[in-house]
Amino acid sequence: MGLGWLLYFLVAQMPWVRLAKLRMPALLVALLLLIVVLIPGIGQSAGGAQRWISLGFGQFQPAELSRLLLLFYIAATLTVRADRLDSFNRGFLPLLLVTGFMMFLLILQPDFGSAMSVFTLSVALWFVGRVPLPYIGGIFILALPGVVFLIMGSGYRAQRMMTFLNPWADPQKSGFQVIQSFVAFYNGGWTGVGLGNSQQKLFYLPEAHTDFILSVLGEELGVVGLITVVGLFLSLLWIGSRITRAQMSNFGYYLAAGLTLFVCLPAMLNMMVTLGMLPTKGLPLPFFSSGGSSLLVSLIALGMLQSLHARRDEDPVQT
């Protein structure tokens, strides 16, 4: 957290609007990080996935930073290719290929949740950047068979989908996690059992400190606490949208919108998972889940957003 706040203040001093010309180096770093983590001896494995790089004093998950760098690249590319977006080959195809290749590297880890997060964030930015809707709709249609294949072709992903549809079909195994999440929310009632007094996190709820931290918050602080947490993210969404609308350049507009979604979209997806509205995926709740990489990169994203707010009248350097 200390390092994250330090980076927040440093990043907030940088003129990001004028750094649009660095879009290609940012993309290369993003892809390089995802390739390096797959190299045996460098990438660290846990739970059947190779998603971390050891730094000696801790581990870092490159997928978090790579998503942020991809966002920067897409925002800059939408600005540079604004007059060519109507052309599929010259405007939209490069964006599609970059997003697809990054998703491919994430799936190799495997990290299906981050891959879907990259896709969702990219589509949202394409929409904001006025990519023709037939292109976006066509990508959804073409991607659907691939997503179904990835889910049904993997035993644990298919099991997660079946569990999502009916967790009570196997309450002691595959459905155990989400059912215990429901129990935590139920136990919390309106005002909760008190901060630190959760029983689910001690004996029943797996991943209580990461993916299902919201369930623990719901048990300890009740509906009142949940409304507070949701309200904080809605406030961040509102502030981010105000900063976005205040931007004088297209690049600043796209980047501010992307940074706001970068933090708020995973929060929404995490909340939907804990409430049983989406299949279980390994997505942390920003600023709440235990995870140094997520906290670090989320604070960097907010630092960039603060910089855009302070320099909203700057024009980007021609790239």
Describe the chain by its helix, strand, coil percentages, rounded to 5: 70, 5, 25
Is 266 among the domain residues?
A: yes
pLDDT at 309 over 70: yes
Is 316 among the domain residues?
A: no
Residues 6+ apart with CB under 8 A from 138: none
* pLDDT at residue 224 in the model: 94
More confident residue, 30 or 205: 30
Domain extent, residue 257, equals 2-310
pLDDT at 209 over 70: yes
- Listing from the earlier edge strand, what are the strands of the sheet with 43-46? 43-46, 49-54, 59-60
CA gap 153, 7 in Å, rounded: 41
pLDDT at 319 over 60: no
Q: Which of 24-28, 151-155, 171-175, 255-259 has the lowest mean pLDDT?
A: 151-155
Is 319 among the domain residues?
A: no
For residue 69, name the pLDDT band (cuts at 50, 70, 90): very high
**Torsion angles phi and psi, residue 46, rounded to 5:** -160, 135
The number of residues making up the chain comes to 319
Is 317 among the domain residues?
A: no
pLDDT at 233 over 70: yes
Query: In angstroms, what is the C-alpha Rg of the chain?
Result: 20
Euclidean distance between the first and final Cα of the chain, in Å?
A: 34
Give the Å distances, CA to CA, from 310 to 34, 255, 306, 307.
32, 14, 6, 5
* pLDDT at residue 303 in the model: 96
Is 230 among the domain residues?
A: yes
Is 92 among the domain residues?
A: yes
Query: pLDDT digit string (tens) for 195-204?
Result: 988 888 887 8
* pLDDT at residue 7 in the model: 95
**Predicted TM-score (pTM) of this structure:** 0.89
Is 135 among the domain residues?
A: yes
Is 171 among the domain residues?
A: yes
**311 within 8 A of 305, measured Cβ to Cβ:** no
* DSSP class of 314: P
Query: pLDDT digit string (tens) for 120-179?
Result: 899 999 999 888 888 888 888 887 777 777 666 666 666 777 777 777 777 777 778 888
**152 within 8 A of 185, measured Cβ to Cβ:** no
The three-point CA angle 313-90-25 to 5° equals 55
CA gap 19, 8 in Å, rounded: 17
Range 205-209 average pLDDT:
81
Identity of the residue numbered 189: G
SS3 213: helix
For residue 300, name the pLDDT band (cuts at 50, 70, 90): very high
Q: Which of 3-7, 50-54, 71-75, 243-247 has the lowest mean pLDDT?
A: 50-54
Query: pLDDT digit string (tens) for 147-161?
Result: 777 666 666 666 777
pLDDT at 112 over 90: no
* pLDDT at residue 91 in the model: 82
Structural domain total, the chain: 1
Tokens (6 digits) for 116: 């879907």
CA gap 74, 293 in Å, rounded: 22
More confident residue, 77 or 166: 77
Highest mean pLDDT: which range of 14-18, 53-57, 221-225: 221-225
* pLDDT at residue 318 in the model: 54
